[in-house]
Amino acid sequence: MFIVLSNYCLAQERFTLSGTIKDEANGEDLIGVTIFVKELPGVGTVTNVYGFYSLTLPKGNYTIQYSYVGYKTIEFKANLTQNIKKNVQIISGATDLAVVEISAEREDENVRSTEMSVSKIDMKEIESIPVLFGEKDILKTIQLLPGVKSGGEGNAGFFVRGGSSDQNLILLDEAPVYNASHLLGFFSVFNSDAIKDLKLYKGGIPAEYGGRLSSVMDIKMKEGNAKHIAVTGGVGLISSKLTIEAPIVKDKGSFIISGRRTYADLFLKLSNNADQRNTTLYFYDLNLKANYQLSEKDRLFISGYFGRDNFGFADRFSFTWGNTTATMRWNHLFNDKVFSNTSFIYSNYNYKIDIAAAGFIINSKIQDINFKQDFDFFWNENNKLKFGGDIIHHTFDPGEISSSGEAVGSTKIENKYSVESALYVSNEHKFNELLSATYGLRYSNFTQIGPGEIYTFDKKGNVSDTTKYTENNPITTYHGFEPRLSVNYILNETSSIKTSYNRMYQHLHLLSNSSGNNPTDSWLPSSNNIKPEIADQIALGYFKNFKDNTYEFSIETYYKVLQNTIDYRTGATISLNPTVEGELLYGKGRAYGLEFYLKRGKGKFTGWISYTLARTEVQFDQINKGAWYPAKQDRTHDVSVVAMYSLSERLKISSTFVFYTGNAVTFPTGKYIIDGQIINLYSARNGSRIPNYHRMDIGVTWDGKNYKEITNPETGEKERVKRKFQSSWNFSVYNVYARENAYSFTFRPKEDSPTQTEIIQLSLFKIIPSVSYNFNF
């Protein structure tokens, strides 16, 4: 890697231009603004996630362009005879509402950047996509992109390139979110009003990220309006939300506070049925963030998330769960080339089940305390170096039962502790105008520490030995190197080919007894029994833009090899089992596929088509006689179509259609009698398929009169002026043609005739209309 140093040793005087770029209207940092040098074609940089940029050039006079789609390009004449600090505020140029802004980036960024296998979502874009209950949801929208597959209805989990849903690292302002779903998966925990930016890496994952095999979803919260107080809100059929942002000191610091609550259960109170009146069912969440510029070189951010779901029945039963995350960050500029960020991160996910009727309470949690240090070194115009490290202390509390009754004793499954750490270095290197690459290396280490009783198991999963360890005593350590590489070769002005390779280690494993994400799923660390899961992925892609970047097209293919994949013994007991590690089996996996994407991003008619053809298989010596078989998330075909059309300035219609192959499942093939009862007989694991899933949604967004016309007193011309109060109505219909998609199948004896059996299909949503009203001022 350090061969690149030789470029640097030319004996020409060089100076650095650096600064931050913000939105003129609200002071939000802008991520990914492109900075060009007119006189040096191909030379430039982009702002980092804190809006900072730095560009080192030979001494001279340059015209610098700051360009961001949807914003007016700004030019700056730089006489670079010394280091220059230039903070820029750019103005949103989106006054023509008929043009739906589809991307907040340079139009051909998809072709030019070394990033491949990356999905991004523009927060403006998701407003018009129809969704369940009219609650716009970034997690649901990203599942409409190629290679990202929905976990199914009633499931916020998603599958990336054949990975299971625990193989996605979901970060909210750097804090890992362990359960990203509300109400058993009907909503995600991310309130889109508080979210600024989302990026999902499916492959070519940069070295700064690690810990999960399949993907990284990096979500950034808004900083809050640094110019003036702003209020955003929405009222829907089942939920409402409100966001307030304001400067702390104008242009120096700001905060945002955003809350959301569902009130489905308030309507249950109106029911004539006593059972329904007594049912509680809601969630709420709260996002908070504040930032303050301490000095020219230092900036402090504090952000937090708190969310909770409540499900209960009178005072007899309650079940609550939720995440809490907190992040404290300190940005520091060592000089105009070295940007540093230091983070302290806390994350906690827990659930509590209180069965008052039976007199016991179950508690479980996972908690992380994390320290992270990152450096951005803007070395020269061709090299941008990133390096840093982090260390995480994990606490796993698999479950504790406290009982007041006599029937069940109080018990606690021992906590597990571990320390996960990593060091990384990564360089974004432009070799010439056509060839660029991002390459890096990550070293990761995972140590399981005491106190605790450590079990070893025999071949059948019975405990064969128990060892006691004292506090902080290391039990098992795993470590390894994770190389990362991503290369872009530009073929011509409008097309490029890209390739990438990455190796990932995963030390946390989700124990889930369903294909979905249940609130009671618990995480298990790597241990003396569980080896880290390892994935190697290569990908190749072709990117092409047509008709002045009106159409974006890409085709990508990937091949992934997985080691130490985990599955369960048949009939395993997963929850509240102290010897659960004995229920696990270890095997290997492979996943490969082809992803097509065509998007129209300009004009009245916008949208995209994505199609994925894929296969995901696993192999375990003890399952299906050692043969390869489809993983449950194996999907042969997956199609999404999103279309949006502006009928007029104020009226937009949209529609989505999805189709995918049903999950691989294990259905019984026969039945037999044991102990006088009918038992299902199975043949191969995952040998059957749920019927194909398809659905169409439609939506209409009707904007209020958000502009007024005034006559300019000087020129006499009419001008459009944005009103302070902006509003819109959103109507949507989920599952328009009322397809009964299968959520689950139950195979059971008939109630009136127990010697016979029947198959019951459960479908969740037939047709769901909804309406919501959104405003901001």
Partner 1 sequence: MLKNKFLHTITILIMAFVMSSCEKVVDLKLEDAPQSTVVEAIVHDSIGDNYVIISKSKPFNDNVGGFETVSGASVVISDNTGNSFALNEIRSGVYNSPSLKGIAGRTYFLSINADGKSITAQSVMQARVNLDSLSQEKVNKPFSSDTISEYRIFTHFYDTPGYKNYYRLKASSKTVQQKGVLVLNDNLIEGDHVIFPIFQTNFLENDTVLVQLLSIEEENFRYFNALTSSQNGEVPGNPETNLNGDDNVVGYFAAYAKSQRLYVIQHMP
Q: Which of 769, 773, 775, 776 binds partner 1 (CB under 8 A)?
A: 769
- Those residues whose C-beta lies under 8 Å from the C-beta of residue 704, and which sit 6 or more positions away, are 650, 725, 726, 727, 728, 729, 775
CB closer to partner 1 out of 260 and 599: 260
Least distance from partner 1 to the Cβ atom of residue 249, Å: 44
Cα separation, 393 vs 478, in Å, equals: 15
| 291-330 binders of partner 1 (CB under 8 A) | 313-314, 316
Specify the DSSP element, H or E, that contains 498.
strand 495-506
CB closer to partner 1 out of 412 and 705: 412
Least distance from partner 1 to the Cβ atom of residue 672, Å: 4
Specify the DSSP element, H or E, that contains 414.
none
Q: Is 407 in the site for partner 1 (CB under 8 A)?
A: yes
Write the DSSP assignment of 464-480 as a string of letters. EEEEEE-TT-EEEEEEE
Cα separation, 507 vs 484, in Å, equals: 18
CB closer to partner 1 out of 70 and 687: 687
Q: Is 757 in the site for partner 1 (CB under 8 A)?
A: yes
- Those residues whose C-beta lies under 8 Å from the C-beta of residue 273, and which sit 6 or more positions away, are none
CB closer to partner 1 out of 315 and 719: 315
Query: What DSSP state is assigned to residue 450?
Result: S
CB closer to partner 1 out of 9 and 270: 270
Cis status, amide bond into 451, omega within 30 of 0: yes
Which window, 93-101, 262-270, 288-296, 324-332, contacts partner 1 (CB under 8 A)? 262-270
Q: Is 568 in the site for partner 1 (CB under 8 A)?
A: yes
Cα separation, 25 vs 23, in Å, equals: 5
Cα separation, 205 vs 211, in Å, equals: 11
Which window, 188-196, 298-306, 537-545, 565-573, contacts partner 1 (CB under 8 A)? 565-573
CB closer to partner 1 out of 134 and 440: 134
**Per-residue x/- mask for partner 1, residues 644 to 673, rule CB under 8 A?**
---------------------xxxxxxxxx
**Per-residue x/- mask for partner 1, residues 207 to 246, rule CB under 8 A?**
------------------------------xx--------
Q: Is 739 in the site for partner 1 (CB under 8 A)?
A: no
Residue in this structure with the two tokens 């043949």, named with its chain if needed: 683
| 343-372 binders of partner 1 (CB under 8 A) | 357
Q: Do the bridges between strand 88-90 and strand 14-23 make them parallel or antiparallel, or are there none, so unpaired?
A: parallel
- Hey, what are 243's tokens? 């966001």
Write the DSSP assignment of 368-413 as a string of letters. EEEEEEEEEEEEETTEEEEEEEEEEEEEEEEEEEEESSSSS--EEE
Query: What DSSP state is assigned to residue 266?
Result: H
Determine contact, residues 151/158, Cβ cutoff 8 Å. Answer: yes
Least distance from partner 1 to the Cβ atom of residue 619, Å: 16
Q: Is 268 in the site for partner 1 (CB under 8 A)?
A: yes
Least distance from partner 1 to the Cβ atom of residue 475, Å: 22
| 488-527 binders of partner 1 (CB under 8 A) | 513-514
Least distance from partner 1 to the Cβ atom of residue 366, Å: 21
Which window, 16-24, 197-205, 493-501, 571-579, contacts partner 1 (CB under 8 A)? 571-579
Give the sign of the dihedral formed by CA 620, CA 626, CA 631, CA 635.
positive
Q: Which of 76, 596, 682, 775 binds partner 1 (CB under 8 A)?
A: 682
| 39-78 binders of partner 1 (CB under 8 A) | none
Q: Which of 36, 53, 133, 396 binds partner 1 (CB under 8 A)?
A: 133
Which among 538, 539, 533 is positioned nearest to 588, based on CA atoms? 533
Q: Is 446 in the site for partner 1 (CB under 8 A)?
A: no
Residue in this structure with the two tokens 């350090």, named with its chain if needed: 2
- Those residues whose C-beta lies under 8 Å from the C-beta of residue 131, and which sit 6 or more positions away, are 137, 140, 141, 697, 699, 732, 734
Q: Is 729 in the site for partner 1 (CB under 8 A)?
A: no
